[in-house]
Structure 1
């Protein structure tokens, strides 16, 4: 019998367990034992048959192969159970994502919308970053936010914030009123948590009226949006930053509105800090404004796709935080689909 070949045959069931089910692993085990027996009785030395088929060393080999095969079958069964569980978890996550971050319409009045969401967790679909866009009697209203913290509490808080915004955006006459409504909702939500004083959300609220070439912005402690005007990209830093939601009472501040020109053809890029805090191997932060200046000629969807690819390349595909991006593009008035 050829011992090196025999050793390989002993490992064969375990190798099969990584890609196949228990039945296949069992069949491979039977094959390996039979083949070991064939090798033990193979003619050698000028036709003389080695009669060691049932010699104790070979019997030990058969038993070892059978034992490894049994363990391989158990491993294969365990792997298949985990795969089914993971498939179920992914299905639930996808359903939760559709409820929490429902698809945003691509066209709201004279504003086209594109979004990007990337979860930092390998198997997760949702996290604490959120966005929404709605057409109301006051114009197109946009929201992007980032819940402090991680895990299920962050997801639940994001869901509560989105539900509050979807009501307030229709009801309230201006953005400060929307922000105050969100503040009250967030405060009630945070009061139910043990670390309520540490639970807050940074947000940007934006309003694009249909009858004025402007965008109104309330920035509640969030990274400043980018205004893309032809080949120019500029940060819309707030003149008077407003406090994050759930810190308004503590800081004693109100919500200040910044008004910026937003003409047909202009684009507004809202994002969470997962974008700008992405690091390369040297620890340098991602230069978002500089990168976007190279993509101003791209259509909105292609711009977000390029941003996604560039973030993965910049970080070597090791994103440490969730990423949410919302891009609003004011269409020219003569566009037929802008009516």
Structure 2
């Protein structure tokens, strides 16, 4: 099940309450009405056909489909109950057809008992698996929500919104990260993506976010912030692991950017024109800056009242539809027209899901900044 949340709201809930809330959602879910009624529909159809066709066609063995389909939705007790209904229905129909006690009827009753027993065992295994999966998903989602703490909805003339969509995978915790910090120097934003998945990626993301929250307050410029991040990462990254990141510093009528191997942000002008904030001198990802002697160079772009900036992770632009086509974010950025920043991002997320026609393959984070 694919899930999305508004990280501007989750920080109001304590982690324990968050665990209980998500566990309840994952445990209950939405009941499938087809699976619920399918066993009864099958037994009713078999009984109807048998009454109409007569005993010579031998439809009674198909009553075993009732308990067989029951395991798709019901637990052990309800599966046994449905098996008893099938058994009773078989006895009644056999008596009506004058075949009760015949060898074929006895085999039919035995098959219903056997299928019911097998369905009970299969149902128990399914429920155990669902409980394990719900627990793993709960831990993954809580870890993600605690890591990605709420961002401020506004900072001076800026309006900020975040949208995060988790990939549809079992406990596949992503390494997408973002943060907004209001500092004495101005509003600073980080968005990034850790190479890889799982708890190791989350641990790295937590380290990057912790280092950024400190450096953003202490350092006067973005290159110094990147230097602090790199120093922190050098103590935790091993091998060829890296983190792509884009950092932004917002001034009165401009934005200063440093891009470390991350997809470039988009600037949507007041008139609706879309510009790619591509750096002239891109820097390597964090964890690989030692490959070059040149320090990261910031670049400055105008950011006037009425403009918007969309920062995102590669899960957005790498989302594919059934034909294998990537999501055309530049063309769809014009959808960010809703009055509220959160609603605008929700509209874009809905369009992304329509493009893929289902769950996305990778986590996708989007952060929208509006200049009032």
Q: Same fold (TM over 0.5)?
A: yes
1:283 matched to which residue of 2? 324
Q: For residues 150 and 95 of structure 1, what CA distance do their matches in structure 2 show?
A: 16
**What is the CA distance between 1:319 and its match in structure 2?**
2.4
For residues 163-219 of structure 1, what are the alpha-carbon distances to aligned partners after superposition, in whole Å with 9 as ceiling and x for unaligned? Answer: 2112211222211111001111111111xx3xx2x211111001113xx32211111
Question: Structure 1 residues 278-287 or 125-134, which shifts more?
Answer: 278-287
- CA offsets per residue over residues 21-65 of structure 1, 9 Å max, x none? 1111112212222222222222x6xxxxx3x43232222221111
The aligned counterpart of 2:270 is: 230
Alpha carbons 1:228, 1:296 under 8 Å: kept = no
Q: 2:355 aligns with which of 307, 314, 317?
A: 314
Q: Deviations over 1:258-307 (max 9, x none)?
A: 12222222211111122222233443332222221354465422321221
* 1:120-158 C-alpha deviation (Å, 9 max, x unpaired): 233457402111111111111100111122333222221
Match of 1:10 among 39, 57, 64: 64
The structure whose Rg is larger is: 1
Q: Could you tell me which of 222, 227, 231 is aligned with 1:175?
A: 222
**Alignment partner for residue 255 of structure 2, among 215, 218, 236?**
215
Gaps of 5+ in 2: 1-53
Residue in 2 that maps onto 1:27: 81
Aligned pairs, number: 317
Aligned-CA RMSD value: 2.1
- 1:164 maps to which residue? 211
Matched residues in 2 for 1:261 and 1:34: separation? 78
In structure 2, distance between residues paired with 1:159 and 1:216: 24
Instruction: After superposing the two structures, state which structure 1 stretch, 134-143 or 153-162, moved more.
Output: 153-162
- CA 1:108 to 1:136, structure 2 compared with 1: closer, same or farther past 3 Å? same
How far apart in 2 are the matches of 1:116 and 1:229?
21
- Give the Å deviation of 1:318: 4.8
Q: Give unmatched runs, 5+ long, in structure 1.
A: 45-49, 332-339
In structure 1, the partner of 2:101 is 54
What is residue 336 of structure 1 aligned with on the other side?
none
SS of alignment partner, residue 242 of structure 1: coil
SS in 1 for 2:300: strand
Instruction: Give 2:248's aligned residue.
Output: 206
Partner of 1:337: none
Map of 1:123-202 to 2, 5 A cutoff? 123-124=170-171, 126-190=173-237, 193=238, 196=239, 198-202=240-244
Change (3 A) 1:126 1:133: farther
Compute the TM-score of the two structures, normalised by the length of structure 1.
0.86
C-alpha change, 1:100 and 1:325, in structure 2 (3 Å) is: same
Provide Cα deviations, 1:217-256, integer angstroms capped at 9, x if missing partner. 1111111111122022211111221221111112222011
**How far did residue 109 of structure 1 move?**
3.1
> Is the 1:94–1:125 Cα contact (8 Å) retained in structure 2?
no
Q: Distance in 2 between matches of 1:124 and 1:326?
A: 24
Partner of 2:138 in structure 1? 91
Deviation at 1:71, TM superposition (A): 0.9
Q: SS of 2:235's equivalent?
A: helix
Residues 186 and 245 in structure 1, CA contact (< 8 A), matched pair in contact too: yes
Shift in CA distance, 77/283, structure 1 to aligned 2, threshold 3 Å? closer
